[in-house]
Structure formats: C-alpha cells, structure tokens
Amino acid sequence: MTEDSRYEAVRSRDARFDGAFFFAVSTTGIYCRPSCPATTPRRRNVRFYPTAAAAQGSGFRACRRCRPDAVPGSAEWNARADVVGRAMRLIGDGVVDREGVAGLADRLGYSARQVQRQLTAELGAGPVALARAQRAHTARILLQTTGLPVSEIAFAAGFASVRQFNDTIKEIYALTPSALRAARPAGAARPGTGARSAPVAPSATPGVLPLRLPFRGPYAARQIFDHLQRHALAGIEDVGGAPGRRTYRRTLRLPNGTGVVEVDEATGDGWLECRLRLTELRDLTTATQRIRRLFDLDADPYAVAGRLGADPVLAPLVARYPGLRSPGAADPQEVAVRAVLGRRMSAAGARTLGGALIAAYGEPLPQPAGALTRLFPRVEDLARAPLTGLGLPEARRATLRTLSAALADRTVILDAGTDRDEAERALLGLPGIGPWTAGYLRMRALGDPDVLPAGEARAIEGADPSAWRPWRSYATHYLWTAEAAGDAPDPGAADHRPPHRIDPDRRPDRLTKRTE
C-alpha cells in the first residue's frame, strides 16, 4: 500500500486494515487503528507506522477510543517466511520475555545485532520495543480483569521492575496503572473495540480471565467448531452445547505452568468470547497467542476470498463458506504426535486411539476442570514409552517413538518461528514420515498458509493449485469442508474420491516396511 491508499483506508474507517498498519496524528500525539471512529484528521497531520511499537517509539500514545495497541495481528507475519516474519511470530509467543533478545536471535540463527537491524529497518522498532508493547497490553488486561496488586501485575506481565512498569504504562496510555484500572469497561465493549485479547468486565469467578479474541472479516465459526468437535480427545478437550452455541474447552501446557481455556462458538461484533484459567499469569500472552493460532484469528479472509474466489473449482465453496479458516495448533508437538497416531484412520478411530494414549501417558492436570483431567503426554515420555496396549502396529509405534525423540532433542523443531523449509526437510528425514504428513504438519503445526498436502488436488477435475497461491492451506480446508459436508468441489466430477484416501502416506503399514 502507498501512503495515499492508507489514508483512503483511514478516511473510510476500513476495519480490514486493522493490525496491518497504524496511523498517528501529529497535532494530538495519538496513534490509532484505521477503523477508529474519531474525526478523520487532515492528511498533512497523519503519519503511518507498520506496528504499534513503532508509533509508541515515535512518542505517540494509544487512542483510548479505539485501543490500537490491541488489534488482530497482521496476516503478513504468518505468510512471511523471512527472518522478520519468523521474529514476529516468536515475539508474539513471548520468546523475548522468556529468553531475551539473545534467545530470539539464537532461534533465528542470526546475531542479536542483525535481528535488531532488520526489525528496526522494516518495522521501525527492535525486538525489545515490540516485546515492550506486548507487555503493556498484557498488563492492561490484568489491570482491567483482575484485582491483583499492581506490583504482582508488573512482574506477571514480564516487566523487570515496578518502576519500569509504571513508566511504560504512563508513556503508552497517558494514565497511571491505578487510573487505567479505574477506566476498565463496566460491561460489554462497544462495537468495534474488540481487541487482540481485549478485557471485558472483571470475571465473577476467581482466577478466570475473561477475554475477547477479535478477528477481521467474516468468520466461519460453525466449520471450525465442527472440526474441533470431530477430533476432540477425551481428557484434554471437550466440546459441549448445541450447534451455534457450543463451547470448546481444552488444557494447555505452557512455559511456566498449565492452563484451561474455554472459547464460545457464538461470535460477537467481530470477536470470540474466551475465558482463561492459568496457574501462572506470566503465561497470559503465550496462551492467548496459541489460542489465536488454533482458531486462525489473524487471517485475512478478504485476501483469501479474492484469490480463491476467482478459481472456477473453488468459487462455489468460497461463496458457500465465507470466512473459512485454516486451524493451527495450540501445541505443535501435540499435533505432530496426533498426525502420526491417527494416520489412515477415521476421526472416530483416531479419537479412541488418542484417548487411550492420553489415559496411559498423559500428565494429570493439577486441578481437574470437569471432563478436562489431563495434559497431552510429553514427547520426552513418549520417546521412551513401549506404546503397547494401544492396538498399534509395531511400525507405527516405532514412528511415534522416533518422532517424539526428534522433537525432544530438537532434531525437529516446530516452534512458532521455525524455518518451515528446514522443519519439513527434517520431518522427511525421519523413517515413517512421508510428504503428506510433513505437509500437514507444516500447515497445522507451523501455521503456513500456503500448503497443499501431497495428493489433495489430484482427483479434482480442472483444478490448478498454482492459482491458489499463497493461500493453498485455505484451499485445502475448503476441499476438506466440502468433503465432510458431502459437497463435490467440482459439480462435473461425479466420480470424485476424497484425495487423502489415495495418498502414499496413508497406505497400510503391512504393505511397506517404511511408510513413504
């Protein structure tokens, strides 16, 4: 976008660009999201920034009306595979808070100076400033949804000292922490004020953080909740309620503790209602980001529909399922184990097998929450486990142990900022992992929006997958959704067979010594 086109988006209050860029007004010292409902400033007074941290670094404070520091994340960071995109995903996962800039640089394979230079050149802010903006947002949530003392909130949000916390809050919000707490919403937020993890009225249940998780554009909640319900594993996941009013619940293993999350299917004015219970508040940022990835809340459905809707094969599906998402992973290692465990099985069979694995090797949840009683097994435990008694053939057990060992010793890395090409090559180097599984994990565990697992389009007459770039993961989910609903992707293909049934990765173990 040019600055003129950005200004046109501001003039029209176009919410499609919330999170893609920010604008600041030199005469007021305030920065906003493009859809801010305030009077449009004159063009000569407007400056544009790629991140909220860059606007803050230039001395602007957040608008109290539109809360620009907390908008849906830019879909660009998930689409990009370069160091900047990888760094943004890792910062969102809280790596800088836990490991510092040196840890971030080590994960990226660059020096700290190179990472600082590249982020500053492109985003107008370095990793410390980007993490600082994220910490301030986390602190605001805790101030407005809990009764914790300010000193506890400071350290829970990741600040090194109470003084640093106070100075940052005053600089970004032009309010003291106490004043910011007093300004918390008394009830439901106004339309358009949903934030990346916006606080709502304080919870009446002690220890529960109520949040609103926003998204841009239409959101096919029914399809993603159908997907989660078909694959929910007893002990760690639960989906209850009637269609349209379902609630998805699951346990989380987090860097500093554990958590339980609940997400409601019914969408508000551009958000999903969420409730978090954490054993360590320091995990709030990480937990929120992982749930956002699971529900693909930072996607750009307008860009996806614009590309896929022009394809004659997919156009009817795009019109039928507006806002379809490509679900990610709350725990990438869990998704990897489940992909191998349930290979060549129906969803019901995979659920039964997954439940047995969790019952045998899952770690009990410190405080059970109804049907949620366990955490998914650690890969370190599965690498040494015999895995007998589950009804698995020896070849599959060997593949599970090999994969778990590779994840445990980081021969295979599935972190948020992993180089996706390297991860796929490492997966393909493991006995028993073929192209379909590697592609599926690249799509789900690593959140790559441009993956078409091997064989998924070969049986569809007239399909041109190259025209689906850079959104082939979404095209895949349109095909899978149509298959689950009994809709033929191509009305003329009466003999269409679900592509995944003929994939090489899915041949029976007894037919080959090495599933490939």
pLDDT in tens, 467-512: 999 999 999 999 999 988 876 554 333 333 334 443 435 443 433 3
Provide CB contacts within 8 A for 422, sequence distance 6+.
Answer: 413
- Alpha-carbon distance of 191 to 270, in angstroms, equals 8
Query: What is the identity of the amino acid at 463?
Result: A
What integer pLDDT is reported at residue 391 of this predicted model? 87
Mean pLDDT on 230-238: 96
The CATH homologous superfamily for domain 78-182 is: Homeodomain-like (1.10.10.60)
Length of the chain: 516
Helix (H, G, I), strand (E, B) or coil at 229: helix
**Predicted structure pTM score:** 0.88
Taking alpha carbons only, the member of 220, 223, 219, 237 closest to residue 483 is 223
Amino acid at 18: D
Among candidates 398, 405, 447, 455, which has minimal Cα distance to 426?
Answer: 405
User: 199: pLDDT confidence band, cut at 50, 70 and 90?
Assistant: low
Superfamily holding 332-511: Hypothetical protein; domain 2 (1.10.340.30)
Residues 190, 194, 198, 202, Cα dihedral to 10°: 30
Q: What is the pLDDT of residue 194?
A: 41
The DSSP output letter for 37 is -
Query: How do residues 57-113 score in pLDDT, each as one tens digit?
Result: 999 999 988 888 778 888 888 888 899 999 999 999 999 999 999 999 999 999 999
DSSP character string of 346-370: -HHHHHHHHHHHHHHHPEEEEEEET
Question: Of the CATH numbers 3.30.310.20, 3.40.50.11540, 2.40.10.10, 3.40.50.720, which one belongs to the domain with range 198-279?
Answer: 3.30.310.20
Cβ atoms 47, 59 nearer than 8 A: no
pLDDT value, residue 195? 45
At 263-290, the pLDDT tens digits run: 999 887 789 999 999 999 999 999 999 9
- Ranges of each domain in the chain: 3-62, 78-182, 198-279, 332-511
**Whether the predicted pLDDT of 204 surpasses 70:** no
403 Cβ contact list (under 8 Å, min separation 6) = 336, 337, 340, 379, 412, 430, 432, 433
Q: What is the pLDDT of residue 185?
A: 60
* pLDDT per position as a tens digit, 183-194: 876 543 433 334
**Which parts of 328-457 fold into alpha helices (H)?**
332-341, 347-361, 379-384, 394-408, 420-428, 435-444
Residue 361, Cβ neighbours under 10 Å: how many? 16
Give the C-alpha distances (Å, rounded to integers) separating 145 from 185, 292, 400. Answer: 9, 19, 42
Between residues 149 and 196, the one the model is more confident about: 149
Q: Do residues 213 and 197 lie in contact, with contact meaning Cβ atoms separated by under 8 Å?
A: yes
Q: Topology of 3-62 in CATH?
A: DNA Methylphosphotriester Repair Domain (3.40.10)
User: What's the confidence (pLDDT) of residue 459?
Assistant: 60
Across the beta sheet with 237-240, the strand order is 198-199, 208-214, 271-278, 258-267, 247-253, 237-240
Counting residues of the chain whose pLDDT is more than 70, the rounded percentage is: 89
Q: In Å, what is the CA distance from 6 to each residue of 18, 47, 176, 318, 403?
A: 11, 10, 32, 27, 46
Whether residue 200 has pLDDT greater than 70: no
- Judging by DSSP bridges, how do beta strands 237-240 and 247-253 pair with one another? antiparallel
